[in-house]
Amino acid sequence: MRPGSASAARRIVLPYLVAALPIALAVALCATPGIADRWRVLAVLSAVAVAGIVAGHQSGTPVRTAAQPWNVHTVWLVPAVLLAPPQVFSILIGLSLAVTLSATGLPMRLRLLVATNNLVGCGLIYLAVLTTNTPRAAVLLGMPLVLAVTAVVAVVGTRLVQPEPARTSFADFHWAAIETCAALTGCLITVAMSGHPLAGLAGVAPMVLAVFALRWPELTSQARTDAKTGLPNAGRWEELSRHALNDSAIRRRPAALLIIDIDHFKAVNDTYGHLAGDVILAAVAADILAELGPDDLVGRFGGEEFVVTTIGLSRAEAMVLAERIRRRIAGTSHEIISLEGHRTTAGPVTCTIGVASSEVLGYGHTLLLRRADAALAGGKIGGRNQIRSAERPEAIDWTSLTSGEHTGRGQTFVPSQRTSPTSDS
């Protein structure tokens, strides 16, 4: 799948980040330094921190283990280190480490990595305070160094704990942007509180917004993903499918749409229960994924139906792919828990597939979907457990298909051969 919004996010966020640091530094240089009461500053920042924690608990926190552990407590930590009494520096560092290390649902190596970033960053800021004795100079000297050093720590640290090729934590653009914006917001709050401690209350709003921003990727993923199978839901699949078909039309590459319907699925739910039905849905999704190429798209269409958009396959090759999917699904055994609580095997589960190809019908998404649906209906009427083509509605005799026929991706059609899932959608 192509993450459609990734490049757009970079175009929007990157210019902001490039402009935010100079603006923050300029404001810091123009501000009048001086703190009336450092303990009042600490009290105000404590209130800001509590507000952020409450907002986080009310909105929930990211629960996906794939989520990066960046947080937004640097909104209050940066001004606290710069402006609070020096005696509480170690306490602030301890609180920061406790917040980071206590994050649930994340590998400890990632928690340690981010804790190291926070420790190094706060240490550099505090060193700048001791060196310059003024908050605005600390912001000027400390923040660029903090951003550079923490980036290096994140990249090097992630490579050490996870040597295999993968995106580093800091290289994950969205999470790095949130952490950077939180630090810059902390700089602006520092400048504001240099004039009056109560100005720190202005930090509540950006901190609450940042907490919700942390949940945005998770909420977006939940809105686009089918919870039972992990596949894109119908809306997300259609969005990606339309884009893929338009791209195929421009590149003059063949494409096809497949609608896959599990036969007699209601009987499965009635016999074994809906939890067993969910197990079978997930297994069928895995079987479909196992046969698809890297450019193909699959989604759960609703109920017991799945949809596939194939890219680069001719009509004949798409039909062969559909038959491979049908036979794989029919050859899978499903271990389930019965309504009585006993472990048993359900199956065989069969499916009917309707296929519509762009070679005959063009690249219109709605037309291809409608014709594939009509072909599927013909297969249901014709007895199920078969595939039907929109351009060839009669039942297809696959006995003439030899084991030497190819699917167009270098795969040989061998009905009895089973492989482990290797592709993702």
Token readout for 400 is 């003439």
What does the DSSP assignment read for 28-88?
HHHSPP--S-HHHHHHHHHHHHHHHHHHHHHH-----TTS----STHHHHHHHHHHS-GGG
Angle 143-145-148 from CA coordinates, rounded to 5° = 110
Bridge-partner residues for 261, per DSSP?
A: 305, 352
Q: What is the pLDDT of residue 134?
A: 61
To the nearest 10°, report the CA torsion of 61, 64, 65, 67: -70
Q: What is the pLDDT of residue 409?
A: 46
User: Which DSSP state fits 147?
Assistant: H
Q: Over its length of 425 residues, how does the chain's per-residue pLDDT go in tens digits? A: 444 444 444 444 445 445 544 544 454 444 444 444 666 666 766 666 666 556 555 555 444 434 444 456 667 777 777 776 666 666 766 766 676 666 665 566 566 666 666 666 666 666 666 666 665 555 555 556 655 665 565 556 555 555 544 444 444 455 556 666 676 777 777 777 777 777 767 666 766 666 666 666 666 777 889 989 999 999 999 999 999 999 999 999 999 999 999 999 999 888 889 999 999 999 999 999 999 999 999 999 989 999 999 999 999 999 999 999 999 999 988 888 888 888 888 878 999 999 999 999 999 999 999 999 999 999 999 999 999 999 765 555 544 443 444 444 434 333 333 333 333 33
Q: What is the pLDDT of residue 373?
A: 96
How do beta strands 351-357 and 387-389 pair?
parallel
Question: How many Å apart are CA 192 and CA 188, to the nearest integer?
Answer: 6
Neighbours of 73 (CB within 10 A): 23
CATH architecture of 234-400: 2-Layer Sandwich (3.30)
Question: How many Å apart are CA 84 and CA 80, to the nearest integer?
Answer: 5
| Cβ contacts of 65 within 8 Å, gap of 6 or more | 105, 106, 107
Q: Cα separations (Å) of 189 from 48, 51, 63, 182, 368? A: 11, 15, 29, 11, 56
Q: List, by residue range, all CATH 3.30.70.270 domains of the chain.
A: 234-400
Q: What is the pLDDT of residue 110?
A: 60
Give me the helices (H) in 256-296, please. 265-272, 274-291
| Helix, coil or strand: residue 225 | strand
Q: What is the pTM of this model?
A: 0.57
